């Protein structure tokens, strides 16, 4: 069987519906085309046709799956069908944080160009006067955090009487942040006939109860699949780097420089992303070529030929474009963003590690994409290692190693060296041989150095519902955010099930503590196993580790008795967690 004959769940699912077939207004299709979206993601394929029929929707999907468009496109579609607009909003989207309010508004603004959609983000911390004026002038879609929505309701500035759709986005996070009462209050004030869409990354009982109370005969859509995919796991080293969106390019360049792939494919979400990245990478001296869904077979073959001959080292592609390609030569797959479905991840990385060769799959994860990452881990049944982005020192070490190997090879082969002897001899009157060799190596090193090589790529932390470092202080959440400048490591096998408790330990990075030291100490000294240990955060002077609540005391006692990297520290319950 040829590798590309392998069954492919994504292709099967993706073959179901194209954007054209979802029932959206052609002007919206035009916008999506401009954005470079090639096909709807699984959650969009499932949710959009349903939403357009007016059904209530209960969607299980995390950030990174395309869920914003899944609810936003139907809202915008409805606006394209309305003759006369009212000043009162027709849609209300509730989101947990102000960052999300801004992001979702931006997305709706973009998708809504087709219908001149008037969208307003409404969140705490922003002067209310401006929001009042905008609301008074008339808005189609309000994207609000629950606290601020209540505030406007009590002032009478937010009207719910003409609402046609209510969306609860990241509902589990809203409940985790203590917004249950606010949600109840808002939902009890919406018209009977309203269409409600609830999206949540997880479906705990509290969410199904909320859905039971406020959704009418909802259709449930989910893109999650249970259990690991069976069968042959190819030999793939899977690495995850957490970087903010703004530093992805820098991280990609660093990864390429350190990994030095012979032939790599970089996956992007949209055609537009592919074009931009190809342009940028070529500008930075990489030999990159774009692969589009719209290219003819001949054009694709030509690009593949370039990759095989080494004329190109990087292919930059969308999922659609890379389908059916026979690319045995690939050494690296790089996910510029987390794929929108776990099947897509499996499919992408299945392109390396063939024929018994080791392949490398690198995924650049933005802080907010942590749940999509978890979904993939659950799907594959494997934990992905979150590693620090290679540092300037790593890059330098790699370069020096390459120089050392090249010099060694040149000396072993010894060809043509004699022609350079006069240079050595004339300099030899002034300098000693070691000095000369050092200067020559420095020149070689400087020759290979590129722009930005001396700058560290800032690391980010995974953004989680509780105590997320990237979320900033939120009055509504009432929680103290964790200190920035700490690193949050992924949990082993999706973390401990059930209740977890965060333990504070007085030793951190300054004492050389690494995640594996903590896991080792806990697994070695308590009844827990390594995989029971949840996320680990190593700060400069302290660390936090999540363990099952039932074993918290045992872990504290053990950590107070044990040395970590030769140091004795103090452990106690974390006050924040
Ligand atoms: P979300 O899960 O809504 O946060 O979306 C994640 C990212 O995927 C956003 O950057 C969107 O612009 C992008 N996106 C959403 N739908 C599609 C699609 N069908 N094709 C390509 N990119 C998409």
Residues 354, 433 share a domain: no
The pTM (predicted TM-score) of the whole model is 0.64
Residues 175, 47 share a domain: yes
Domain total in the chain: 4
* Residue (of 132, 118, 53) closest to 79 by Cα position: 118
What's the pLDDT tens digit per position in 376-416? 988 888 888 899 999 999 999 988 988 998 898 888 887 78
Ligand 1 atom 22, closest CA: 269
What's the pLDDT tens digit per position in 299-338? 888 888 888 888 888 999 998 888 777 677 789 999 999 9
CATH number at residue 492: 3.30.70.330
Q: What is the model's pLDDT at position 476?
A: 34
Give Cβ neighbours of residue 570 (< 8 Å, ≥ 6 apart). Answer: 505, 506, 560
DSSP 162-208: T--EEEE-SHHHHHHTT-HHHHHHHHTTS-TT-EEEEEESS--HHHH
- If you average pLDDT over every residue of the chain, what do you get? 84
Residues 283, 178 share a domain: no
Residues 173, 149 share a domain: yes
Residues 347, 242 share a domain: yes
Residues 14, 151 share a domain: yes
Q: What is the model's pLDDT at position 527?
A: 84
- Separation of CA 64 and ligand 1 centre (Å): 6
The verdict on residue 503 lying in a domain is yes
CB neighbours (10 Å) of residue 180?
A: 15
- What pLDDT band is residue 228 in, cutting at 50, 70 and 90? very low
Ligand 1 contact, 110 CB (< 6 A):
no
Residues 406, 503 share a domain: no
Q: What percent of the chain has pLDDT over 70?
A: 87
Ligand 1 contact, 196 CB (< 6 A):
no
Residues 241, 285 share a domain: yes
Pocket test for ligand 1, best of 68, 105, 199, 322 (most atoms within 8 A of CB): 68
> Last residue of some domain: 357, 376, 392?
392
CATH number at residue 145: 3.40.50.300
Residues 111, 258 share a domain: no
CB neighbours (10 Å) of residue 425?
A: 9
Ligand 1 atom 19, closest CA: 40
Taking 80 as the threshold, does the pLDDT of residue 373 lie above it? yes
Atom of ligand 1 at shortest range from CA of 270: 21
Atom of ligand 1 at shortest range from CA of 63: 2
Residues 118, 38 share a domain: yes
The verdict on residue 454 lying in a domain is no
β-bridge pairing 536-538 and 543-548: antiparallel
Ligand 1 contact, 375 CB (< 6 A):
no
Ligand 1 contact, 270 CB (< 6 A):
yes
The verdict on residue 70 lying in a domain is yes
Taking 50 as the threshold, does the pLDDT of residue 1 lie above it? no
The verdict on residue 468 lying in a domain is no
Higher pLDDT, 98 or 475: 98
Q: What is the model's pLDDT at position 412?
A: 83
In this structure, what token pair is assigned to residue 207? 């969410």
Ligand 1 atom 13, closest CA: 66
Residues 199, 55 share a domain: yes
> Last residue of some domain: 323, 357, 392?
392
Give the Å distances, CA to CA, from 562 to 130, 535, 540.
56, 20, 20
- Separation of CA 271 and ligand 1 centre (Å): 12
- Separation of CA 93 and ligand 1 centre (Å): 18
What's the pLDDT tens digit per position in 435-452? 999 999 999 888 877 777
Pocket test for ligand 1, best of 18, 42, 62, 66 (most atoms within 8 A of CB): 66
Residue 548's SS3 state is strand
The verdict on residue 466 lying in a domain is no
Structural domain range at position 338: 235-392
Ligand 1 atom 16, closest CA: 66
Atom of ligand 1 at shortest range from CA of 64: 2
The verdict on residue 303 lying in a domain is yes
The verdict on residue 469 lying in a domain is no
Q: Under a CB-based contact definition with an 8 Å cutoff, are residues 573 and 502 in contact?
A: yes
Residues 136, 25 share a domain: yes
The verdict on residue 227 lying in a domain is no
Atom of ligand 1 at shortest range from CA of 38: 20
Ligand 1 contact, 69 CB (< 6 A):
yes
């Amino acid at each position: 069987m040829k590798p590309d004959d392998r069954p492919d769940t994504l292709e099967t699912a993706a073959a179901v519906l194209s954007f054209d077939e979802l029932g959206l207004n052609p002007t919206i299709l035009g916008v999506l085309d401009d954005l470079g979206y090639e096909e709807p993601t699984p959650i969009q394929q499932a949710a959009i046709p349903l939403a357009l029929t007016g059904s209530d929707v209960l969607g299980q999907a995390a950030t990174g799956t395309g869920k914003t468009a899944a609810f936003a496109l139907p809202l915008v579609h409805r606006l394209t069908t309305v003759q006369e607009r009212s000043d009162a909003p027709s849609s209300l989207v509730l989101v947990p944080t102000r960052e999300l309010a801004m992001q979702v508004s931006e997305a709706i603004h973009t998708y809504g160009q087709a219908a001149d959609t008037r969208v307003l983000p409404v969140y705490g911390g922003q002067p209310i006067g401006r929001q009042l004026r905008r609301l008074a002038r008339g808005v189609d879609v309000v994207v609000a955090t629950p606290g601020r929505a209540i505030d406007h309701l009590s002032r009478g500035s937010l009207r719910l009487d003409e609402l046609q759709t209510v969306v609860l986005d990241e509902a589990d996070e809203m409940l985790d942040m203590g917004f249950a009462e606010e949600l109840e209050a808002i939902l009890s004030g919406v018209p009977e006939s309203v269409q409600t869409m609830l999206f949540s990354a997880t479906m705990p009982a509290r969410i199904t109860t909320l859905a039971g109370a406020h959704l009418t005969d909802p259709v449930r859509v989910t893109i999650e699949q249970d259990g690991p995919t069976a069968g042959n796991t190819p030999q793939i080293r899977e690495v995850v780097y957490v970087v903010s969106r703004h530093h992805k390019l820098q991280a990609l360049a660093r990864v390429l420089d350190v990994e030095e792939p012979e032939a790599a494919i970089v996956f992007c979400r949209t055609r537009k992303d592919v074009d931009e990245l190809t342009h940028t990478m070529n500008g930075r001296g990489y030999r990159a070529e774009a692969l589009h869904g719209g290219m003819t077979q001949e054009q694709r073959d030509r690009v593949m030929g370039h990759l095989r001959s080494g004329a190109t080292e990087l292919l930059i592609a969308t999922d659609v474009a890379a389908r059916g390609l026979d690319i045995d030569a690939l050494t690296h797959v790089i996910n510029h963003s987390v794929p929108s479905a776990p099947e897509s991840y499996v499919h992408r990385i299945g392109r390396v590690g063939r024929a018994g060769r080791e392949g490398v799959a690198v995924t650049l994860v933005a802080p907010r994409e942590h749940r999509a990452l978890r979904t993939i881990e659950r799907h594959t049944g494997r934990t992905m290692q979150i590693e620090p982005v290679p540092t300037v020192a790593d890059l330098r070490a790699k370069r020096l190693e390459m120089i050392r190997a090249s010099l060694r090879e040149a000396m072993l082969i010894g060809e043509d060296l004699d022609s350079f002897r006069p240079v050595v001899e004339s300099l030899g009157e002034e300098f000693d041989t070691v000095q000369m060799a050092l200067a020559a190596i420095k020149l070689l090193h400087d020759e290979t150095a590129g722009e930005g090589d001396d700058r560290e790529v800032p690391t980010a932390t995974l953004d989680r519902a509780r105590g997320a470092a990237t979320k900033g202080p939120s009055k509504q959440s009432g929680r103290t955010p964790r200190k920035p400048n700490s690193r949050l490591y992924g949990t082993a096998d999706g973390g401990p099930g059930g209740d977890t408790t965060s333990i504070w330990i007085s030793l951190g990075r300054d004492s050389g503590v690494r995640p594996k030291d903590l896991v080792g100490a806990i697994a070695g000294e308590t009844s827990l196993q390594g995989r029971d240990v949840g996320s680990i955060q190593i700060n400069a002077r302290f660390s936090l580790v999540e363990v099952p609540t039932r074993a918290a005391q045992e872990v504290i006692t053990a950590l107070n008795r044990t040395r970590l990297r030769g140091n004795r520290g103090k452990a106690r319950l974390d006050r924040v967690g």
